[in-house]
Amino acid sequence: MPEELTYPRVLVIDGTPFSHTCNGGIVKSQLFSGWPKTRLRQILYSNMEPGFDVCGQYWQLSKTGVLLGALGRAPGRAQCEKTDSGQPISTDAPYESRPGIERRFSWLSSQIRVPLGEAIFWLPSVLSGPLREWIDEFHPDVIFSFLASGVVLRTVALVANRWKLSVVPYFTDDWIGTIYREYALGSLLRRSVERDLRQCLAVSPIRLTPNDAMAREYRQRFGGRFEVMYCAEVVRPYSLPAGRPLVRFVFTGTLAPNRWSSLKRIGQALDLLAGEGLRGELMVYTPYGEADGIPKQDVPRSVKLAGTAAPKDVAGIQADADVLVHVESFDAISRAYTRLSLSTKVSQYFMAGRPVLALGPAEAASIQYVSEAGAGVTVTEDTLDAIRTALRPLLSDESWRCALGKKAHFTAMERNDESRQRQRFREFLCAARHA
């Protein structure tokens, strides 16, 4: 079948680049893996390093660029386009895409910076002449986006309206219910978001979510068609480690929002169980710098802050684990934000063939997902007694851990097999192109 029929030209507009280091980047990379690079571009508003193995061309938005555009001096293609050169971007210095003038104002309070940035992106110069030419050259068939911020929503709405394109949004968490609530001008910002979201949904024939709970709630909230879409790279389940004197629990991922509090509880419970002769350790791998602010005295004896895991090392780290750990925070703000989200870690954990220890609120979709699959142990009470009770059989019964791991891998293959899910994804985008 001709490429143009099976692979629409997709313009991704997002606050996260394709990557293998953050949730949104991982999801996009999995969904678009194998997509012809000539039929995929991204307009990016982010200070994160882009990956080029899936998407080869990005257009970098910035506040400075929008302001210069309003003065008739919009940065040209050479300043804004990031194209795969075959060479890694990374150097010894941290990645930085913001113009120098923006970095100099980073000391301002977010109460000032965020509303100011939003106001800048209300200017029509968001779609500068060079950017319009770049989009015209690509001639996109459909827009894909996580939305998730006022800047991205507004840009999606502008592009969809000017080029008469359908939008396929992917909702990874309930950002709609929590966005900008902490800001003094939050009510104004939220009204703008709600307006732009209505415009995007009006041209969105298909909307995607990672789990049934979110799809059901969003159908009731917004109407329209919501489909569950989630895929994971297929791997053979790893053999269980042998001969280790203690049980190794492993967490990989970000500590936001407020996940350290739950991980600390697990460590405290492991410390107590060591007194009963049940020995375990919790290895915590986080993005660069995230764990730097944790005081040493706040780290339980059974917890090791293991630094950052490079994407190429994650599989080996998971293979060396006896139990993989997923946590959500119990505080009210975090609960509202993560209630409907399903982390990419969960499908990765399942595919690894390891039992999952999931600690978090009972209403959290990720906690429910582990429980319903029967692929691990879930703890929905934020107490040391509840955590210790859940940990005892995981520490003492290797055959049970093995059985849970087999169930996890079976579930991942049944629900998240990459080849079947990517085929569905292509079909959805083709249908949206012709809507």
Topology of domain 247-416 in CATH is: Rossmann fold (3.40.50)
Distance of CA 367 to the CA centre of its chain: 17
Q: Is residue 178 over pLDDT 70?
A: yes
**Mean pLDDT, rounded, of the chain:** 89
Identical fold between 3-231+418-433 and 247-416: yes
pLDDT tens track for 302-319: 999 999 888 788 888 988
Residue that wins the pLDDT comparison between 154 and 417: 154
CATH for 3-231+418-433 is 3.40.50.2000
pLDDT tens track for 364-402: 989 999 999 999 999 999 999 999 999 999 999 999 999
- What's residue 166's pLDDT? 97
pLDDT tens track for 244-303: 789 999 999 889 889 999 999 999 999 999 999 999 999 999 988 888 889 989 999 999
b/e map of 206-238 (b: 16 or more CB within 10 Å)?
A: bbbbbbebbbebbeeeeeeebebbbbbbeeebb
List the structure tokens of 23: 């949730």
Domain locations in the chain as residue ranges: 3-231+418-433, 247-416
